[in-house]
Structure 1
């Protein structure tokens, strides 16, 4: 798919065609920037209605760090999908998280925050992609990691 064919922002209806994730595990609401094959910027709106806030933690809701990592991985999957030629786009193609390195959490993510997720392709290796990821809230990095994802075999 050429960059010209992609109309930004990419909304959740399109994201549902590109990722197999569904409630309560779809963690990307919108794609706001895309450089095909290079980088993506996506948004996750964090609301008190998220099911994980019931138990993490009662009286002091905090988004689990592993879900921030998962949101970055999903944005990486969208980068890969949106970078494919239109005739190769695959609805619900599966990408599996293989490895997470250098994960850092700089501050808690709480209800009302908007995660601004930036993912850059660091390296492509056959059916795998190594991504450099950062999630920000109000311009401040709240989490970062290098994530390796592999395409699942059908």
Structure 2
């Protein structure tokens, strides 16, 4: 199963400059996802991180992995409905995170996320980001699902 940017925007509430997933190239609902983030010199964070040697902040690589996880966690039997605006998906834990090499303009991040545990309230994942088949970051993520009080 693949998703283009329009499909992604139907399923994630994030928008520029915080939408960090450009395309999904492989997805097994409730199990795993492979997504792509194209890193451009036009990203707003490169102005200050760093002007003399632009590097994508590690926290944004982790955020891209968390957004990828959100894309496949709530899809059952291929039902690709829109996001529930009364539900929030929060990143609540980051463990065993390592950054192996810098990500720079022109790189294409391959975001690979596998579900370790999915429930109605807490989800756990093992994730890694690669550039040119080399691991640039890896982490374990924990996310909470909460109904919003209106």
- Establish whether TM, by shorter chain, passes 0.5: yes
Deviation at 1:153, TM superposition (A): 1.4
Q: Partners of 1:85 and 1:44 in 2: how far apart?
A: 23
Deviations 1:12-53 (A, max 9, x none): 111111001000000000000011111000000000000000
Name whichever structure is richer in helix by fraction: 1
**What is the number of residues matched between the two proteins?**
147
Match of 2:16 in 1: 23
**Selected match of 1:129 from 119, 123, 141:** 123
**Contact 1:123–1:130, Cα closer than 8 Å, also in 2:** yes
Match of 1:5 in 2: none
Q: Please report the RMSD computed on the Cα atoms of aligned residues, expressed in angstroms.
A: 1.7
Deviation at 1:83, TM superposition (A): 3.9
Larger mean Cα displacement after TM superposition, 54-63 or 83-92: 83-92
Deviations 1:77-132 (A, max 9, x none): 00113346638653555210000000000000000000000000011244111010
Q: Secondary structure at the match of 2:67?
A: helix
Q: Partners of 1:153 and 1:91 in 2: how far apart?
A: 9
Determine if the alignment matches structure 1 residue 63 to structure 2 residue 95.
no
Match of 2:113 in 1: 119
Q: Partners of 2:9 and 2:84 in 1: how far apart?
A: 9
Match of 1:148 in 2: 142
TM-score (norm 2): 0.91
Determine if the alignment matches structure 1 residue 82 to structure 2 residue 75.
yes
Q: Secondary structure at the match of 2:142?
A: strand
Q: Partners of 1:87 and 1:119 in 2: how far apart?
A: 18
Q: Partners of 1:83 and 1:54 in 2: how far apart?
A: 40
Larger mean Cα displacement after TM superposition, 122-131 or 142-151: 122-131
